[in-house]
C-alpha cells in the first residue's frame, strides 16, 4: 500500500480512503504539504482536513452551476468526514465535525442533478437515518435493490461517496443506511453495535418492501470491512435477502482485536473507536462486546449467492481469515476474490485502488439480482 505518510499506516490509509471516495489529488496535495512535518498529530489532521473542506465550500458557493456546486459540496462533506475520524468521542469537536459532514451533504443533495432522498427507517421505537437512491429511468416497475452497511468508522455519507451511481446505473436501487454503531445512529441516536445484525437489516427490508420502486424478491446487501460480518449475519438469519457481498472479511472480530492488543496489528483508527461503537469505557469491555461476532457460528446457514472480496496484502485482517470465512459459508453459489494489486487494491477493502472491486461488486450483484430483466 502506498504511504503518503511513511511509517504512519493510519494516516496513509485514510488519505487513500479520501481518494477512493472522490477526493482530488490536488486537494490531497494541499493537505499533505500541511501535514508532512506533523505526522501523528491528530489535532493537526483534523484542522488541515477541515480547512480543506471549508475551501471546497467556498468553491461550491462560487460554482457556475448547481451541478458543479453539488460536486463541490459532496467533496466538502467528504473532507469533513476525513477530518472527523480521529477525534476522541468525548471531545465536543467530534459531534461538531460530523454536523459539518451532514450540513455539506445536505447542500450537495439539494444541488444534485439526481434524486437522493433522506429517509428514516423505523427501528425499535426510533429510526435509522438513510439515503435512498432509486433507479431513475422513468419506469414504475419494481427493481432490484441493495442495502449498504458500513464498518467500524465509516458512515452512510462515505458509502454513498464511494459507490455513487455505480449500482443505480446497473438497474439497482440503493439504500445507504446508518445502523447501530454507525454514523448518525451512533452519534445522535446512541445506538451501539450488536451481534444480531439481522434485526436492523430486517427493519431496512421492512421499509424497502413498502416502496413502489422495489421488487421485494430481489433485495441484496453489501457490507464493507466490519460490515462484512454484519451482512453475513443478516444473510444467515434474514431469508428475504437474495444475495450478499462482504467487501472485506471479518471472520472472528474478537480474535482480530485479541491479535491487535497482544501480538500487535495494524489499525486504521484509534483504539477508542471500538469503545465508541460498543458503548464501553475500556478495551477489555469493548472486546467482550464483540465476542459473538463470529461467522463460524452461523456461516453454514447462508444459502443466498455470496461474494467475499479481500486484499492479498491486507494489514488489518489476515488473508487466512478470509479463506476460513469463505470455507464456512454454506451457499452453493459463493465466490472468493483476492485482489493482488495488479487487478485492484490489495490493501484492506481495496482503498488503495477501489474501482476494480466496486465494478466487481456492482456487476456481480446486478447478475445475481437479475438487474437486466
Question: SS3 sequence, the chain?
Answer: CCCCCCCCHHHHHHHHHHHHCCCCHHHHHHHHHHHCCCCCCHHHHHHHHHHHHHHHHHHHHCCCCHHHHHHHHHHHHHHHHHHHCCCCCCCHHHHHHHHHHHHHHHHHHHHCCCCCEEEEEEECCEEEEEEEECCCCCCCCCEEEEEEECCCCCCHHHHHHHHCCCCHHHCCEEEEECCCCCHHHHHCCCCCCCCCCHHHHHHHHHHHCCCCCEEEEEEEEEEECHHHHHHHHHHHHCCCEEEEEEECCCCEHHHHHHHHHCCCCCCCCCCHHHHHHHCCCCHHHHHHHCCCCEHHHCHHHCCCCEEEEEECCCCCCCHHHHHHHHHHCCCCCEEEEEECCCCCCCCHHHCCCCHHHHHHHHHHHHHHCCCCC
Bridge pairing between strands 173-177 and 143-149: parallel
**What confidence score (pLDDT) does residue 243 get?**
98
pLDDT value of residue 235: 98
Of 201, 192, 161, 198, which Cα lies nearest the Cα of 73?
161
The total of other beta-carbon atoms located within 10 Å of residue 288's CB is 13
With left for phi above 0 and alpha for psi between -120 and 50, is residue 306 left, alpha or beta? beta
Q: What is the pLDDT of residue 373?
A: 58
Query: Which residues, 6 or more positions from 326, have their beta carbon under 8 angstroms from its beta carbon?
Result: 249, 308, 334, 336
Measured distance between the N- and C-terminal CA atoms of the chain, rounded to whole angstroms: 39
Give the CB-side neighbour count of residue 74, counting CA atoms within 13 A.
27
User: How would you list the strands of the sheet with 143-149, edge to edge?
Assistant: 117-123, 126-133, 173-177, 143-149, 214-224, 241-247, 306-311, 334-339
Q: What is the pTM of this model?
A: 0.96
Handedness of CA 45, 48, 51, 55 (dihedral sign): negative
Cα 139 to Cα 327: distance, rounded to the nearest angstrom: 40
Q: Label residue 23 left, alpha or beta by phi (over 0 means left) and psi (-120 to 50 means alpha).
A: beta
Which positions ≥6 away from 123 have C-beta within 8 Å?
A: 200, 203
Write down the pLDDT at residue 203: 98
CA distance 99 to 97: 5
Delineate the domains of the chain, giving CATH numbers in brackets. 8-113 (1.20.1440), 115-373 (3.40.50.1820)
Q: Mean pLDDT by 10-residue block, N- to C-terminus, for the chain (373 residues)?
A: 94 96 97 96 98 98 97 98 96 97 98 97 97 88 95 96 96 98 97 98 98 97 98 98 98 94 82 95 96 98 98 95 98 98 96 97 97 72
Amino acid at each position: 500500500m502506498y504511504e503518503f505518510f511513511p511509517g504512519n499506516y493510519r494516516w496513509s490509509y485514510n488519505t487513500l480512503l479520501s481518494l477512493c471516495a472522490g477526493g482530488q489529488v490536488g486537494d490531497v496535495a494541499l493537505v499533505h504539504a500541511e501535514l508532512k512535518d506533523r505526522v501523528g498529530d491528530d489535532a493537526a489532521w483534523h484542522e488541515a482536513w477541515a480547512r480543506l473542506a471549508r475551501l471546497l465550500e467556498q468553491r461550491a458557493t462560487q460554482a457556475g452551476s448547481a451541478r458543479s456546486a453539488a460536486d463541490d459540496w459532496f467533496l466538502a462533506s467528504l473532507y469533513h468526514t476525513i477530518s472527523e475520524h480521529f477525534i476522541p468521542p468525548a471531545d465536543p469537536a467530534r459531534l461538531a465535525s460530523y454536523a459539518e459532514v451532514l450540513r455539506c451533504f445536505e447542500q450537495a443533495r439539494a444541488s444534485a442533478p439526481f434524486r437522493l432522498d433522506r429517509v428514516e427507517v423505523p427501528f425499535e421505537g426510533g429510526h435509522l437515518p438513510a439515503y435512498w437512491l432509486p433507479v431513475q429511468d422513468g419506469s414504475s416497475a419494481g427493481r432490484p435493490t441493495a442495502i449498504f452497511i458500513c464498518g467500524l468508522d465509516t458512515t452512510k455519507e462515505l458509502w454513498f461517496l464511494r459507490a455513487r451511481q455505480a449500482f443505480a446505473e446497473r438497474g439497482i436501487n440503493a439504500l445507504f443506511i446508518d445502523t447501530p454503531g454507525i454514523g448518525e445512529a451512533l452519534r445522535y441516536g446512541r445506538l451501539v453495535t450488536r451481534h444480531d445484525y439481522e434485526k436492523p437489516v430486517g427493519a431496512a427490508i421492512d421499509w424497502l418492501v413498502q416502496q413502489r420502486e422495489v421488487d421485494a424478491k430481489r433485495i441484496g446487501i453489501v457490507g464493507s470491512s466490519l460490515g462484512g460480518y454484519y451482512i453475513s449475519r443478516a444473510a444467515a438469519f434474514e431469508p428475504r435477502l437474495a444475495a450478499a457481498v462482504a467487501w472485506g472479511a471479518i471472520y472472528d472480530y474478537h480474535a482480530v482485536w485479541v491479535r491487535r492488543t497482544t501480538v500487535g496489528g495494524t489499525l486504521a483508527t484509534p483504539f477508542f473507536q471500538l469503545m465508541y461503537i460498543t458503548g464501553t469505557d475500556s478495551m477489555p469491555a469493548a472486546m467482550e462486546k464483540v465476542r459473538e461476532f463470529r461467522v463460524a457460528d452461523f456461516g453454514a446457514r447462508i444459502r443466498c449467492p455470496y461474494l467475499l472480496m479481500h486484499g492479498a496484502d491486507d494489514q488489518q485482517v489476515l488473508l487466512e481469515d478470509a479463506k476460513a470465512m469463505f470455507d464456512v459459508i454454506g451457499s452453493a453459489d459463493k465466490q472468493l476474490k483476492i485482489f493482488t494489486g495488479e487487478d485492484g487494491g490489495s490493501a484492506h477493502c481495496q482503498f488503495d485502488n477501489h474501482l476494480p472491486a466496486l465494478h466487481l461488486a456492482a456487476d456481480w450483484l446486478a447478475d445475481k439480482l437479475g438487474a437486466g430483466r
